[in-house]
Amino acid sequence: MRSDAVKKGVQQAPHRSLFNALGMTGEEMSKPLVGIVSSYNEIVPGHMNLDKIVDAVRLGVAAAGGTPLVFPAIAVCDGIAMGHTGMKYSLVTRDLIADSTEAMAMAHGFDALVMVPNCDKNVPGLLMAAARVNVPTIFVSGGPMLAGKVGGKKTSLSSVFEAVGSYASGDMSLEMLEEFERKACPTCGSCSGMYTANSMNCLTEALGMGLRGNGTIPAVYSARIQLAKMAGMQIMDLVKKDIRPRDIMTKDAFMNALAVDMALGCSTNSMLHLPAIAHEAGVDLNLGIANEISAKTPNLCHLAPAGNTYMEDLDEAGGVYAVMNELLKKDLLRTDLITCTGKTVEENIAGCHNQNPDVIRPVEDPYSETGGIAVLKGNLAPDTCVVKRSAVLPDMMKHEGPARVFDCEEDAIAAIKGGRIVPGDVVVIRYEGPKGGPGMREMLNPTSAIAGMGLDSTVALITDGRFSGASRGASIGHVSPEAAVGGNIALVNEGDLIKIDIDANTINMDVTDEELAARRKQWTPREPKITTGYLARYASMVTSGNRGAILEVPK
């Protein structure tokens, strides 16, 4: 066992004395040491129940013959961090989580890990750590929140952000806004739409790193506790069989995850996280392949914010495995791959059929024949940018309009709420990328203001930052190269004609190469916004959005 390095032999007597100080018995020391990585805290609604999940995992590990030992991982609530300096600290925690988990796992010689994340950056951060450490690992999340209800209709967090825009435009009363505020988020759990947290938790199932239901069983259901116990027991089977993350997260597994991503209509943030996770697993995941998969993968789900169904509905309809069975009808998955169940994909999804064609469309009747995410290229984004195609209204799939240029999110929000953005405009928000932000802030506030003011059918938004999974409309993010490194988005002038064609995967500004070259000669890099602390170190090491904003040591 890997933990023998800290438990066995005369030289390890000092180590054993410290285990004795923990109150550990000799019998416990003789068993595999299983680290349980707990993202529990009291500030994130998706994490406030994780102590219960961790307790259930501990029982499962002990019942199956392991010794469970808990250590923490941090977590930021994107909703609370949204729209202010706090959002600069969201994406950057992904790497802190991966680094700190790697440090704890390697320093203490764990034989296996059970990851207990839930929201946004914790899932990809822990997947990155799992690939690095490469000891048997399984994921069990805290589960999604139940949808709220306002006026007898289901709703979620994105509705509250949009309600702020409706109130600002005079289309909603303060009393109604306050009702959304009270009722949209009624339980613990990750927010109830197909936002980033739920997208990534669903993709753990598609990758083979989480058990059935990990992405969809609601946080408040007792089935979530049962799932945690099963995960604790299953990790011991993975130890016995020596099945490790890199055995599971292969190139083909990432192709499966991309196909499921397209079918579910996941958050565009998955296009940041999957390449970063693949990088840690030694897999080259070029975003160019996303369009190839999208071209042949139908979009089967329109969960909020793209539609009026929620995670609890997806769970009742059969969950991720039912979606995978639909894709199998078109031979869109590799099914011979090993997973954390110890079985293959084919064995896992057998018999998991679609229980509600209104929630999971059959492949014969999809929302669209192509996937929920599109990667665009053109002279505005020479390396790529990303849009959640499934959340774009048909009228905005092709759009031309004048650029309204802002060098930070706050200025754009002021213009939108001040009525200075009109139908036809293309809002460009730059210097918000991984380096320029720094931290690549999510732009849920401006997209929600646009939607709440009824402009989502006529106004597009483009940024080198990124979007929350709760964003909808023609919201195009991850523009690469970003403005801070001299990407062409830094050269856009107020009034330039922007041409977007999502079906053709193109995004261009109607400016000649000669004019762009002349503008580049006049462009000068901006001074860093932040020069101290973690954000400054992050900005010095982070790469472009099209590479997953991974960190590299400067050369």
Contact 147, 155 (CB under 8 A): yes
Element spanning 138, H or E: strand 137-139
3-class secondary-structure state, position 187: coil
Q: Active site includes 471?
A: no
Catalytic-labelled residue, pool 166, 390, 468, 544: 468
Per DSSP bridges, beta strands 497-501 and 506-509 are: antiparallel
Output the CA torsion sign for 356, 357, 363, 366.
negative
Q: Where are the alpha helices (DSSP H) in 184-269?
A: 196-207, 222-241, 245-248, 251-264
Residue 74 contacts by C-beta under 8 Å, 6 or more apart in sequence? 39, 41, 93, 96, 97, 100
- C-alpha 41/C-alpha 490 separation (Å) is 39
- The candidate with the shortest Cα–Cα distance to 261, out of 250, 273, 251, 249, is 273
Q: Is 102 exposed, middle or buried (0-12, 13-18, 19+ CB in 10 A)?
A: middle
Tokens of 169: 């435009």
Residue listed under structure tokens 């994780």: 50
Alpha-carbon Rg for the chain in angstroms:
23
Contact 520, 390 (CB under 8 A): no
Residue 419 contacts by C-beta under 8 Å, 6 or more apart in sequence? none
Return the active site residues: 468
